[in-house]
Structure 1
Amino acid sequence: MLRYSTNKKSVLLALISLILFCQEASGASKRDFRGAWIQTVFQGYDKRTTEQNQSYLRSLLDNLQATGINAVIFQVRPAADSFYPSPIEPWSRHLTGCIGAAPARLWDPLQFMIDECHKRGMEIHAWLNPYRVTASANEQLPDNHLCNLFPKRFVKYCKRIYFNPALPENRQHIVGVVRDIITRYDVDGIHFDDYFYPYPSNGEEFDDEAHYRSSGTKLSKPDWRRRNVDILIESVHQTIAETKPWVRFGISPFGIWRNNTSDPEGSATSGLQNYDDLYADVPRWAAMGWIDYQIPQLYWETDHQRASYRVLCDWWADHGEGRHIYIGQDVKKTADACELPEKLRQIEEIGPERIQGNCWWYAGNLPAISAQLKEKSYSTPALVPEYLWKHVEPADKPGTPVYKDGKLQWNADDHASKWVVYRFDKASDVDVENPSAIKAVTYRPEFIPDCGGCYVITALDRANGESDHSSPVTVSLP
């Protein structure tokens, strides 16, 4: 069964709907996930110096901030390698041109991106590809690579190499990578994309028959493969819960779960199926509470013959399973087809109780639609939605901010992860449900005003729950 209804989940859904209804009743919702993917595979990082790469990323983030993006999904593990100094896996060839080689001027791209995203008030989610080891057919791995040390743990398929999802030691390895990242880095989320078992190609069979036969399972082979992936996802969830329970875990699956010709619960489509071809039952993971959001990749045209965006958007809106749904959008395809207004209109009609935002593939293409987004949908700032099911300590209301030497400062509560700065013309205008009053989200308890007015501060806890606002302070500027 696809659905796993429980009283607890029903209560959560009711709470989400009530909060969003109240926000809508007072005007436009100020809660909206506005994400963008920054991929690192074949993006020229290895052709630039450290300084040039840092300049490139700063410029990219500046453009995202100007558009209204509030969350960045940054690819840090493209293929069993790393865009950060890892004690577990080698430096990425996509960063330096040679797997295992450190940057000529040493830097930590992940820490750099955390600092730069948080400086701009954006969340950062570390994006990992779990099973992929090589991204192209001609890659050579060094003798000391895990794949060469333990070749039986890997499968070669369509001239590319993958971790065998059936093996417990491979799951432990991947979970260890996640644990290392969240232990050493202040990331807001961990993100896996659509690559689980590899996409089928040319009728070639993924060579895991011997492991299936020796497993002793009574499951069919497809169910056994799905169970292998289930175990990984549950293990990552458990690791996050034990290490930093506030860190989000999200998946961006291929846009079709199942066609309704395969399952009456499926969508009215006729394309490749996540469940049957990639062995990933992503809505189930949400229903089980293992993940916090799904970003289905709906990269097709509105009325695509086999995979209609319109049909799939409605389908996924009904299958959040008590967790968030953000729609994965292809910027170039949407801009080329002139479909942005229609796609956003459909999401607006569905409403924020069923779809809580969008994520844009990919960040480098976003300028093509930035002006359109800023004109309407992103005309006012927004906060990333609250994760009501996360068990965190709520942040206290900030004390009255003090304006001194051109800077607002306030007390930093231990349970606050960041703060929201609001500006109004006068104290009687204070209404923190008005998103147009948001001046900034800051990860530091300070802010430099660029105009006078009445300012109040709220604190956001680790699950994005918002505190009551501080007492107002009036700032007068020349």
Structure 2
Amino acid sequence: MTVPNMTRFMTKGWRCSTRWLLPALFLLSLMAVLMASAFVPTVAQYPRQEIRGVWMTTNDTDILRDHAKLQDAVGQLARLNFNTIYPVVWNAGYAMYPSTVVQQAGIQSFVYRGIQGQDILADLIAQGHARGMLIVPWFEFGFMAPPTSELATKYANWLTQKQDGTKTSMSAAGEVVWLNPFRPEVQQFISSLVLEIVTRYDADGIQFDDHMSLPNEFGYDSYTISLYQKETGKTPPADPKDPDWVRWRANKITAFMVQLHNAVKAVKPQAIFSISPNYYDFAYRFHLQDWLAWVRQNAVDELIVQVYRPNLQSFLEQITRSEIREARQKIPTGIGILTGLRNNPVAMSMIQAQTQSARAQGLGICFFYYESLWDYAPEPPEQRQAGFQSLFPYQAVRSTRL
């Protein structure tokens, strides 16, 4: 082949290839732009249902009861791109809102309101919604109550007991008694409280934590013994950890939670039915709380597992457990992270490390609790707030349409 012939071949080939090269180059350029834009931080970069929450406890009462303080608090959380607040509404046997249910039961001698006379829960919901935040009231004490509360003293027959007849146990809240979750009267009372909140307020859901359970030592009251004998033909074993005895009681609590979930959905289908238990093995074996069964039976819309650990290694061991991975495939799932207690401050560096580790697993975050976000902390408030801003520099929009 001569050089001129080669030249003609190359020229002809070039002309032919340009017909396809230019469109190909255009497509490559367009893909490059789209790929580059994917790394530009925007609201859409984050999952729509990513949980960025904080619990408001009774320690935050001064803020909750003061309209101006609450307005500042909600505004600050919104500026730091939080998207969910879980305010306490049931604590120590009392409703933290003006409840008709507890007044009719004769167990509340006062009406809980703000210092300006406002309904605290309604005020928080209005302020949160105005800033695009979800408000999910938190049913903190569940079946638990102080032994001196009006609930415990007026309805003593609602309480369950240990095998030795004692009715109290020690908890983080001090000495407590436990309502018997197997009694119809108790189930009706709890259900009425929950439905009152869901129907009366424009709340986005309801949340139950590790106290919607029963320590495994309990269940030796006459009512529960009789029910167990009737259904199994056996007497409850002396060992409270007996597998069959644990399973029977856990199944009863599961059945109630499924029933409660269905009741909530019947009156407010879009309401988020949220739970925040301890890690599964502990929750089931020691508190008869088979929350994985609740998830599998589609009785849970949101899961936040409490993982309050002082170091990163033990934290990582818990957030990578199989049951959390399973739940994450079905529903919005998050991790509860301790931001400090009055006598146990937590460094911002640890909070950031745990938050980043959870998010790397595709998990949301909920902090315990509001006051310790930047108070009772080893760093000044401005530094703490800057730390949270660095964690959540952009919005993550949530919706009740799951």
Same fold (TM over 0.5): yes
Q: Does residue 82 in structure 1 map to residue 95 in structure 2?
A: yes
CA contact (8 A) 1:36 1:359 kept: yes
CA contact (8 A) 2:143 2:213 kept: no
Letter in 2 for 1:226: A
Q: Does residue 324 in structure 1 map to residue 332 in structure 2?
A: yes
Deviation at 1:345, TM superposition (A): 3.3
Letter in 1 for 2:137: A
Q: 1:151 aligns with which of 152, 156, 160?
A: 156
SS at match of 2:336: strand
Letter in 1 for 2:145: T
The residue number in structure 1 matching 2:272 is 248
Deviation at 1:64, TM superposition (A): 1.4
Q: Does residue 378 in structure 1 map to residue 392 in structure 2?
A: yes
Q: How does 1:347-358 map to 2 (within 5 A)?
A: 347-350=358-361, 352=362, 355=363, 357-358=364-365
The residue number in structure 2 matching 1:313 is 319
Q: How does 1:362-401 map to 2 (within 5 A)?
A: 362-367=369-374, 369-375=384-390, 377-384=391-398
Q: Which aligned runs of 4 or more in structure 1 are off by greater than 6 angstroms?
A: 22-25
SS at match of 1:88: helix
Q: Within 2, Cα distance between the matches of 1:301 and 1:166? A: 36
Letter in 2 for 1:359: C
Q: CA RMSD in A?
A: 3.0
Q: How does 1:9-28 map to 2 (within 5 A)?
A: 26-27=38-39
SS at match of 1:359: strand
CA deviations over 1:305-342 (Å, ceiling 9, x no partner)? xxx10111111541315112111111127842732343
Deviation at 1:281, TM superposition (A): 1.1
CA contact (8 A) 1:301 1:337 kept: no
Q: 1:285 aligns with which of 277, 286, 294?
A: 294
Letter in 1 for 2:338: D
Q: 1:228 aligns with which of 224, 232, 252?
A: 252
Letter in 2 for 1:26: A
Q: Summarize the Cα distance change of 1:178–1:99 in structure 2 as closer, same or farther, 3 Å threshold.
A: closer
Deviation at 1:287, TM superposition (A): 1.3
Q: Within 2, Cα distance between the matches of 1:168 and 1:212? A: 11
Deviation at 1:123, TM superposition (A): 0.6
SS at match of 1:222: helix
Structure 1, unmatched stretches of 5+, are 1-21, 92-97, 259-272, 387-461, 465-478
Q: How does 1:144-293 map to 2 (within 5 A)?
A: 147-155=152-160, 156-158=167-169, 159-198=175-214, 205-206=217-218, 208-215=220-227, 216-218=230-232, 220-254=244-278, 256-258=279-281, 273-293=282-302
SS at match of 1:106: coil
Q: How does 1:51-70 map to 2 (within 5 A)?
A: 53-70=66-83
CA deviations over 1:360-381 (Å, ceiling 9, x no partner)? 1111122353312312x31111
CA deviations over 1:140-174 (Å, ceiling 9, x no partner)? 52xxx5x4454211233134232111112211211
The residue number in structure 1 matching 2:29 is none
TM-score by length of 1: 0.61
Deviation at 1:210, TM superposition (A): 2.5
Letter in 2 for 1:224: W
CA contact (8 A) 2:137 2:207 kept: yes
Higher relative contact order (CA 8 A, sep 6+): 2
TM-score by length of 2: 0.72
SS at match of 2:270: coil
CA deviations over 1:36-61 (Å, ceiling 9, x no partner)? 10012x5555xx9x9x6223322322
Q: Within 1, Cα distance between the matches of 2:244 and 2:35? A: 47
Q: Within 1, Cα distance between the matches of 2:36 and 2:285? A: 39
Q: Within 2, Cα distance between the matches of 1:318 and 1:134? A: 33
CA contact (8 A) 2:135 2:203 kept: yes
CA contact (8 A) 1:300 1:309 kept: yes
CA contact (8 A) 1:328 1:359 kept: yes
Q: Within 1, Cα distance between the matches of 2:149 and 2:51? A: 39
CA contact (8 A) 2:145 2:179 kept: no
**Structure having the larger proportion of residues in helix:** 2
Q: Does residue 359 in structure 1 map to residue 366 in structure 2?
A: yes
Deviation at 1:81, TM superposition (A): 2.0
The residue number in structure 1 matching 2:5 is none
Deviation at 1:99, TM superposition (A): 4.5
SS at match of 1:318: helix
Deviation at 1:115, TM superposition (A): 0.8
Letter in 1 for 2:188: Q
Deviation at 1:248, TM superposition (A): 0.4
Q: Quick check: which has more Rg, 1 or 2? A: 2
CA contact (8 A) 1:330 1:362 kept: yes
Q: Within 2, Cα distance between the matches of 1:24 and 1:292? A: 34
Deviation at 1:71, TM superposition (A): 0.6
SS at match of 1:240: helix
Q: Summarize the Cα distance change of 1:23–1:30 in structure 2 as closer, same or farther, 3 Å threshold.
A: farther
Q: Percent identity?
A: 21
SS at match of 1:319: helix
Letter in 1 for 2:319: C
Moved more, 366-375 or 159-168: 366-375
Moved more, 314-323 or 239-248: 314-323
Q: Summarize the Cα distance change of 1:24–1:251 in structure 2 as closer, same or farther, 3 Å threshold.
A: farther
CA contact (8 A) 1:194 1:252 kept: yes
Deviation at 1:26, TM superposition (A): 2.8
SS at match of 1:89: helix
Q: Summarize the Cα distance change of 1:90–1:78 in structure 2 as closer, same or farther, 3 Å threshold.
A: farther
